[in-house]
Amino acid sequence: MNLEVLNGMLRPKSIAVIGASNKEGKIGYTVLKNLFADGYSGEVYPINPKDKEVQGLKAYSSVLDVPGEIDAAVVIVPAKFIPQVAEECGKKGVKGLIIIASGFSEVGRKDLEQAVVDTAHQYDMRVLGPNIVGILSNSDNCNASFAPCLPLPGKAALVSQSGALLIAMDTSTYTRRVGFDKMISIGNMSDVNFGDLVEWLDADENTACMSFYIEGLKDGRHFMRAAREAHKPIVALKSGVSAHGAAAAASHTGSLAGSGKIYEAALEQAGVIRAADLNNLFDRTLALSLQPPMQGDNMLILTNGGGVGVLATDAAERAGLPLRFAPEDVQTELKKHMPEFGSARNPVDLTGMAGVEWYHDTVRYSFAHPWVDGLAVLYCETAMTIPQEIAESIKQAIDESGVTGKPITVSFVGGEQSEAAMQWLLEQGIPAYDAPDTAVNALAALREFAQGRDTMAKPFVPFNDVDEEAARAVIAEARADGCRNLTEIESKAVFKAYGLPVAQTRLATSEEEAVRLAEQIGYPLVMKIVSPDILHKSDAGGVKVGIKNAAEVRETYHTILKSVRAYKPAADLHGVAIQEMAPWGTEVILGSVNDPTFGPAMMFGLGGIFVEILKDVTFRVAPVSPEQGLKMLSDIKAGAILAGARGEAPRDRAALADILSRYSQMIVALEDEVAESDANPVLVYEEGQGAIVVDARIILKKK
């Protein structure tokens, strides 16, 4: 991607305001006024076909009349005029269009939106929006938006898919004391997407943390790739995760919500840190923009209140970072700075008797200790202490420790004095919160950041012992027959081409052939009808198991054909499958879909009630490495069964992980053909004994 072009648009040295107005109350008035009011120092050119001057500045009737260069054009004129505006901007050499105007795909005018984008691309311009508030940047004193002011300065960058929320968050940065360098309204995402902004913000020197409000991505795979490659933390509040919420989101933005479960998987696979709600987005953004990642699991909690210590401990477990007791040497040292009835175990309870010195000494010691990966310092306002002094002692101790690569978060519970002390801590770069749970949750976000980086260190490497050509030949043949539902035999042939172990299954079209194949495969056997028109084979009397000899093969061959013909006379019968009867093993299920946002995605779970009743399944966007496959096995609640619970031998998880990885490669490679597929059941045997796909199904895309 050309970051230079984006840079020109998002950090412009000159701006044309197309639709700049002299009428107070108009957005074209507000945007121009904001550029002046917030001190933008680049060139500003009002474009207005009627007025000669706008807000005291010479106005031009078209960008083509502007003498100097124009980096960004902020467009506020009615939608129908914008294709022409785009044309003129292109000719002028504008780098990007920031289209505030609405009236495009959000009201059904996708055609108009596409026309603008097509024109822009002809001239190598990018388009932000339409249907947005604009962009805000403290680094450039640039408020090219109709939001009332630049946000409280800081190191985070907000990208919001909701304009109203962006404006509201903008003003609330001052009351919440969370600083942002940039705020970008992304709107309809006709061109510039979240993925583009990840790449651009990752390269931006003034951004330390990306903070996203997402309703629905349009560039799932691009976003995932960009996020994985980014060096800075990304924290996202994804709305529409509830069933009703997804419906509400769809009606709001028209973006396809996709499956909540697949979104969840995708964001986690991309190393994106999640925010649970709006407060959590602010709280986590604050810590992520000020503190380094937490490199290990050892969180130490220091407090002067046993109660808040316990609350913080609960919060740590909720946030997926359960506390551990501190090692002996740490406890022994900390014990020196508290009364007899204190506790040095973790949470470290200095008790209500703790003053400035105890806080200073224990923070300094703990922060420097190699066992401690991150520190949460909690303080309850007491009559015996002055919050500002406690704050200063914490800062001093951190500085004196000489340690810089570790995170710290702080919570002060109290009144005005505590508020002021927390404000001071923020100014020193130490995130401070008014509740212990919040401080711990923010520290957990810094741990998630480090973990995400770890996970992505082992990417998927394609298997090379696959035969894509063979798979495509099977599919082409089915297509030639006008079929979209591959038969079991065809499906298994495709699976086999990707190195997946399938139960040997061959097609017999006559009684004699059935016997011949049966003798080759060996008994016992399963026999099943093969027909693209029979989806529920058992219901049609089309399945028989435990066939022991040639006589039974002959008899079954006719019984099956007779049953199926009675069940569905018009069915196209390919013949009868002769299949080896796999010995009993633990049943698991694999399935795939083509997600509208993320493309090929897969599901894994144990068979029967586990999938159907307990919904105990896990999802991933494909492909996954065998290591990630192993992780899927333990992600489900019934994972313990595969590990060998209740005295049974562990199942062959390595073989199963290999199957998951190969399956994921298959659905990605055949994305253009395969709409959905499943392997149900896959039988998994004891360690070293492998696993086998007993039944397989592939449904092709409509073409």
Of residues 344-373, which lie at the interface with a copy of itself (CB under 8 A)?
Answer: 345, 347, 349, 352
Beta strands in 84-229 (DSSP E): 96-99, 126-128, 134-137, 142-145, 156-160, 180-185, 209-214
324 binds a copy of itself (CB under 8 A): yes
Which residue among 55, 119, 160, 661 contacts a copy of itself (CB under 8 A)?
Answer: 160
State in angstroms the smallest separation of the CB of 243 from a copy of itself: 7
Q: Which of 221, 303, 324, 217 is closest to 269 using CA atoms?
A: 221
Site membership for a copy of itself, residue 604 (CB under 8 A): no
Stretch touching a copy of itself by CB under 8 A, among 80-88, 241-249, 442-450, 471-479: 241-249
Q: How far is the CB of 158 from a copy of itself (least distance, A)?
A: 12
18, 99, 315, 682: which one contacts a copy of itself (CB under 8 A)?
315
Does residue number 308 form part of the binding site for a copy of itself (CB under 8 A)?
yes
With CB under 8 A as the contact rule, the residue among 278, 483, 521, 571 that binds a copy of itself is 278
Q: How far is the CB of 407 from a copy of itself (least distance, A)?
A: 20
Stretch that binds a copy of itself, among 11-19, 84-92, 300-308, 510-518 (CB under 8 A): 300-308
**Span 632-651, contacts to a copy of itself by CB under 8 A:** 637-638, 640-641, 645-646
Confirm or reject binding of residue 613 to a copy of itself (CB under 8 A).
yes
What are the beta bridge partners of residue 235? 211, 273
- Tell me how far, at minimum, the Cβ of 401 lies from a copy of itself, in Å: 25
Number of helical (H) and strand (E) elements in the chain, helices listed first: 24, 29
**Among residues 235, 220, 100, 229, which one has the least CA distance to residue 158?**
235
Q: How far is the CB of 85 from a copy of itself (least distance, A)?
A: 22
661 binds a copy of itself (CB under 8 A): no
Residues 183-222 that bind a copy of itself (CB under 8 A): 213, 215
Per 3-state DSSP, the chain is made up of helix, strand and coil in percentages (nearest 5) of 40, 20, 40
Residue 383 touching a copy of itself (CB under 8 A) = yes
Using only C-alpha atoms, what is the Rg of the chain? 31
Nearest residue (CB) to a copy of itself, 21 versus 239: 239
| Distance in Å, CB of 670 to a copy of itself, minimum | 32
The residue assigned the tokens 């019934």 is: 638
Which residue of 148, 296, 462, 688 would you call a contact of a copy of itself, by CB under 8 A?
A: 148
Per DSSP, the three-state class of 95 is coil
- Residue 86 CA: distances (Å) to CA of 26, 32, 58, 93: 22, 20, 22, 10
Q: How far is the CB of 498 from a copy of itself (least distance, A)?
A: 31
Q: Does 560 bind a copy of itself (CB under 8 A)?
A: no
Q: Which is nearer to a copy of itself, 343 or 485 (CB)?
A: 343
Q: Considering the complex, what minimum distance in angstroms separates the CB of residue 240 from a copy of itself?
A: 5
Q: How far is the C-alpha of 396 from the C-alpha of 400, rounded, in Å?
A: 6
How far apart (Å, rounded) are the C-alpha atoms in residues 135 and 291?
26
Give the integer Cα–Cα distance in Å for 591 and 498: 15
Q: Which one of 174-182, 365-373, 534-542, 692-700 is the stretch in contact with a copy of itself (CB under 8 A)?
A: 174-182
- DSSP letters for 523-575: SSEEEEEE-TT-S-TTTTT-EEEEE-SHHHHHHHHHHHHHHHHHH-TT----E
Q: Which of residues 482-511 bind a copy of itself (CB under 8 A)?
A: none
Identity of the residue, 15 or 152, whose beta carbon is nearer to a copy of itself in the bound complex: 152
Which of these ranges, 93-101, 135-143, 167-175, 221-229, lies near a copy of itself under the rule CB under 8 A? 167-175
Do β-strands 72-75 and 14-18 pair in parallel, antiparallel, or remain unpaired?
parallel
Cα 258–Cα 189–Cα 603 angle in degrees, nearest 5: 20
- Name the minimum Å distance from CB 249 to a copy of itself: 5
Give how far Cα 672 sits from Cα of 305, 600, 603, 666, 667, Å: 60, 10, 19, 11, 9
CB of 223 to a copy of itself, least distance (A): 19
Cβ neighbour number for residue 18 with a 10 Å cutoff: 32
Between strands 273-274 and 299-303, the pairing is: unpaired
Question: First CA to last CA across the chain, in angstroms?
Answer: 31
Q: Between the CA of residue 270 and those of 92, 264, 273, 594, what are the distances in Å?
A: 39, 10, 9, 18
Is residue 331 within the footprint of a copy of itself (CB under 8 A)? no
CB closer to a copy of itself out of 105 and 531: 105
**Which span sits near a copy of itself by CB under 8 A: 186-194, 243-251, 487-495, 653-661?**
243-251
Of 65-94, which residues contact a copy of itself (CB under 8 A)? Answer: none
Q: With CB under 8 A as the rule, give the number of residues binding a copy of itself.
A: 93
Nearest to 261 by CA among 617, 604, 619, 595: 619
Answer yes or no whether residue 652 interacts with a copy of itself by CB under 8 A: no
**Which residues on neighbouring strands pair with residue 480, listed in sequence order?**
none
In this chain, which of 208, 235, 237, 530 binds a copy of itself, going by CB under 8 A?
237
Minimum distance of a copy of itself from residue 10's CB (angstroms)? 21
Residue with tokens 């395969």: 674
241 in contact with a copy of itself (CB under 8 A): yes
Using the minimum distance from each CB to a copy of itself, give the nearer residue, 592 or 680: 680
Q: Would you say 152 or 500 has its CB closer to a copy of itself?
A: 152
| Contact pick of 42, 83, 292, 306 for a copy of itself (by CB under 8 A) | 306
The DSSP-derived string for 317-370 is HHTT----PPPHHHHHHHHTTS-TT-B-SSSEE--TT--HHHHHHHHHHHHH-T
Examine residue 175 and tell whether it contacts a copy of itself (CB under 8 A): yes
| CA-based nearest residue to 575, from 462, 490, 674 | 490
Contacts (CB under 8 A) with a copy of itself, residues 400-459: 413-419, 434-438
Task: Check residue 113 for interaction with a copy of itself (CB under 8 A).
Answer: no
47 contacts a copy of itself (rule: CB under 8 A): no
Q: Closest by alpha carbon to 587, among 611, 619, 567?
A: 611
* Cβ atoms < 10 Å from Cβ of 370: 10
Cβ at position 58, least distance to a copy of itself in Å: 26
Only one of the segments 48-56, 86-94, 342-350, 689-697 lies at the binding site for a copy of itself (rule: CB under 8 A); that segment is 342-350
